[in-house]
Amino acid sequence: MKFRFDHNNINVFNLEKSLKFYKEALGLIEVKRHVPAGGEFILVYLGDGTTQHSLELTWLRDRTETYNLGENEFHVAFKVDDFEAAYQHHKRMGCICYENKEMGIYFINDPDNYWVEIIP
């Protein structure tokens, strides 16, 4: 038996805002969408166009308040081929929330305040 990564999931409060952020910040594109007949939720899977791994965004129709992320001690990480260009892009977007220059990494936060690690 062999297991392999398939996707990670996060719940988002404003689906359109999140889709725009992930496209602009990381170049992720929608690869699959599931909307049940009742419309009580929407699942959107985003891909990087290179790997098979995807980020699943879950939107719940009846959700009335943003998510409490607790201490937010979890994150998704992305490698980038041009770290300096990515850093400048995210700086212009105003979404860098934490930098660790000693380790050579930084984090951006999405509209729901999830942290995304950027590594060279």
Lowest mean pLDDT among 68-72, 76-80, 97-101: 68-72
Quote the pTM value. 0.90
CB atoms within 10 A of CB 90: 21
CATH class of 7-62+74-119: alpha beta
Overall average pLDDT of the 1-30 stretch: 95
Domain positions in the chain:
7-62+74-119
Single-letter amino acid, residue 15: L
CA-nearest of 5, 4, 6, 57 to 28 is 57
